[in-house]
Chain A
Amino acid sequence: MIKVQGLTKRYARTVAVDNISFEVEKGQIVGFLGPNGAGKTTTMRVLTCFLPPTSGTATVAGFDVLENPHEVKKRIGYLPETPPLYPEMEVSEYLTFVGRLKGISSADIDRRVREVTERCAIGDVRMKLIGKLSKGYRQRVGLAQAIIHNPDVLILDEPTSGLDPKQIIETRELIKHLSGDHTIILSTHILPEVEHSCQRVVIINQGKLVATDSVENLTNRLRGAEAVALEVASSNGPLDPAAVQQRLEQVAGVSRVLPREVKDGRLAFEVESLQGRQIRADLARAVVHAGWNLNELRSVGLSLEDIFLQLTGTQNPASATQHPASSTQHS
């Protein structure tokens, strides 16, 4: 559905997007992941024909963004980072305007407006001025605007930024509901968003493509090792941290033990396992055998967040695609 090849966008002084290539299949939800200023918005703007690429090609539904922008625009619904709203308009008036602009005939427009207001749950504010709406409602009106002409492709730039947690969940649900009929690209720098709603991830950093894979593959690939938070105390006298650490390191399957904190005689550690080993049971046994109290034992598993940091970490971007499980750094 979307094909990007060797896309580069250069501004006067900076290269915003540097030789990016990826493809999106019909019906997929793809998450565009990257820190602020990574080039997510620029890539989206190229796809929506707002900006022309400096070099490389991008096609949507077989139409090139440079040669056939009109056809591309007809097939794309776009929600920019700040929803493009006119505060002096009423919601239904605004949606009618956008719908007509996107080529919906005057005969169908009322029906379409009704459908999208229902779908985006903004029916109760239909007659309100957009300028008076709360941020969450505005975001939903923005979303309604993007889907009004039932486009093949939906491009959403940070659809949940600035919303409160409840609104974020609602927006996510809404995007999930939409996924059946539309191919969706959504950008974000918030990771749970990708984990929740996307099937594939495209990670970019400083304009370069870092990784593109399915969410499961990406997490599985990087989540071979287990990390466990452990807290030990003693009922008779203070413990020697070095001795405890040594004892823990002897447990089978442990790759390393990191001392975390010492407080009132309680010792906290973070223990990492070797690739594919379960160590929690053995750890618990070892602590109890030594006669210490086991205060806490909890798996801290690598989240997409860690993966993201590893992949986009500025220290060693070259090794980003290697298996970094053994060199995991927790902050």
Chain B
Amino acid sequence: MTNIWIICRKELKSYFASPIAYLLMAFFALIFGFGFFTATRDFVRFGFMAQMQGRNMPMNVNEQVIRPLLGFASTVALFLIPMITMRLFAEEKKTGTIELLMTSPVYDWEIILGKWLGALLLYLCVLGMSALNIALLFAFGKPDWKPILIGYLGLILQGGTLLAIGAFISTTTKNQIIAGGVTFFVCLLLWLLSWFTSYDTSGYGSVVNYLSIVTHFEGFAKGVLDSKDVVFYLSMIFFSLFITSRSMESLRWRA
């Protein structure tokens, strides 16, 4: 357990010692802030218009601002995650520090979990930038906090899954650019799967649809905590980290 923490802390320090952590946080804050601005502006305008026309439209901050914003955040995360995971193993393989880790009295799974946790904590920091915007909603309105919490849980689970996939891809190469590029491609593919099959109700289509990362997030965005989605994400995380450990093992035999 301590070993995982030691490695996790080292990863976090590395992220924050380079501009990458700050860049990602700033980038996300900017994009999310832009999304937040348009969403609230439209919400206010819409409410204003409804009032002018004397119609009593049901207005709901959760439904009309937070839900699309969370969906937006989950899409933006697809772009950020490759930048977080690309260096995880590829950099250590390139500089040879992987030899230090693999000849230290720690188990492979401790290294992997530590690195994944470090990446996840950075991802949380990046997501945390959106808290300021959400706090504004609380300051000027009365949104329901429970769906927000569930939405963030969904973001974390989705992020954790993609980070685990990215970690695996990073073990397969020495080249960070390749690791990042392939991870980005895979993230995009998992996202697009839901597009291809949204109207396909055949058995084949529903399987492909089930594999889409985004499909499982929709429930969370609505504020619905469905165990089936949680299980999907957790099993994806477990599976990805498992093949990461297999990949690391194979390093020993091939290196």
A residues touching B (Cβ–Cβ < 8 Å)?
12, 45, 48-52, 70, 73-74, 76, 78, 80-82, 84-89, 93, 97-98, 100-103, 145
Contact = CB atoms under 8 A, between A and B. Distances in A.
Given A74-B105, A101-B104, A50 B99 contact: yes
Contacts of B14: 86, 88-89
Interface stretch (B2-10, B27-35, B239-247): B2-10
A70 B105 contact: yes
Chain A interface helix/strand/loop/mixed: loop
B100 interface: yes
Interface residues of B, number: 26
Contacts, number: 71
Interface string B1-22: 0110011001001100110000
A168 to B, nearest CB: 21
A99 to B, nearest CB: 10
Most chain B C-beta atoms within 10 Å of own C-beta, residue among A48, A84, A97, A98? A84
A145 B99 CA distance: 13
B38 interface: no
B189 interface: no
Q: 10 smallest A-B Cβ distances: which pairs? A: A84-B100, A88-B17, A73-B105, A84-B97, A48-B103, A74-B105, A101-B104, A100-B6, A82-B96, A80-B99
Contacts of B95: 82, 84-87
Nearest to B7: A101
A97 B11 CA distance: 11
B61 to A, nearest CB: 42
A98 B101 CA distance: 9
A97 B95 CA distance: 17
A156 to B, nearest CB: 13
Interface string B85-122: 00000000001111111111111000000000000000
| Most central of A74, A81, A88 by chain B CB within 10 Å | A88
B103 A145 contact: no
Interface of B is mostly: helix
A86 B2 CA distance: 20
Contacts of A82: 95-96
B253 A52 contact: yes
Contacts of A100: 2, 6
Given A84-B97, A84-B99, A101-B105, 4 more contacts: A45-B255, A50-B255, A51-B252, A89-B13
A101 B101 contact: yes
19 contacts: A45-B255, A48-B103, A51-B255, A52-B252, A70-B105, A76-B103, A78-B99, A80-B99, A81-B96, A82-B95, A84-B99, A86-B10, A86-B95, A88-B14, A97-B10, A101-B7, A101-B101, A101-B104, A145-B100
Contact of A101 (B3, B96, B98, B253): B3
Q: Which of B3, B97, B104 has the most CB of A within 10 A?
A: B104
A48 B3 CA distance: 19
Interface in B12-66: 13-14, 17-18
Given A84-B96, A97-B6, A101-B101, A50 B252 contact: yes
Given A50-B255, A52-B252, A80-B99, A103 B13 contact: no
Contacts of B252: 50-52
A89 B17 CA distance: 8
A87 B102 CA distance: 19
A80 B100 CA distance: 8
B112 to A, nearest CB: 14
Contacts of B254: 12
B6 A101 contact: yes
Contacts of A76: 103
A39 B107 CA distance: 27
Contacts of B18: 88
B226 to A, nearest CB: 40
A51 B251 CA distance: 9
Interface string B133-177: 000000000000000000000000000000000000000000000
Contact of B103 (A78, A85, A89): A78
